Amino acid sequence: MKTKILKGSIVVFVLLLLFVSVASISAESNDTSVLSLSKSGITINYPSNWGYSQAISPYSIMAISKADDVDSFGVGQVNINIEKKPIEGDFATFVNKTYEPMKYDSNYQLVSSGSSMIAGNKAFEYIYTSKENNVAKEHKAVWFEKGGQAYVLLYSAPMDKFESNLYVFDYILSDIQIT
């Protein structure tokens, strides 16, 4: 009889501990709301623990970074940059030429490439790694064409932070509005 009461108490204790853990996680996730950013016919929604940041590329139309990974120059180490470039020639050829130099630079390694869809538009996707100034990063780039312009959404993060933040990039890709 005491064994059944003891087992029942343990089950109740474990369930209570599980309930408190779930409530704690739910409270933490409720602190994050969704923000929007719109420019050049592109609208994205992103979590409030990310924010607008500086981009290094002159083609950037908007950039966001994980708020706790922005350096003293305002550049995010975990970031999503959206660029717009004029297309020279055929779109597929233009995109593929962008990655051609990687074959000859040991600081870059192409991991995969293929096609996908973004907001109903045919897109090209590239995943690659880089090493600059002894910092190894992983990148995911998704390219699409609109109005004779090439757009690229580029997610970059240090290797140890890439997978854990990829869900934000994937959410933006699934929810992006292109007008």
Q: Tell me the pLDDT tens digit for each residue of 120-178.
A: 899 999 999 999 888 899 999 999 999 889 999 999 999 999 999 999 999 999 999 98
Is the pTM higher than 0.85? no
Q: What is the pLDDT of residue 150?
A: 94
Domain match, 17 and 97 both: no
Domain match, 79 and 115 both: yes
User: Could you report the per-residue pLDDT of 15-61, keeping only the tens digit for each?
Assistant: 333 343 433 333 444 567 999 999 988 999 999 999 988 888 899 99
The span from the CA of 45 to the CA of 36, in Å, is 4
Residue-range definition of the domain harbouring residue 154: 33-178
Q: How many domains does the chain have?
A: 2
Domain match, 25 and 71 both: no
Domain match, 137 and 161 both: yes
Domain match, 25 and 96 both: no
Q: Which of 83, 80, 44, 47 is nearest to 65 (CA)?
A: 80
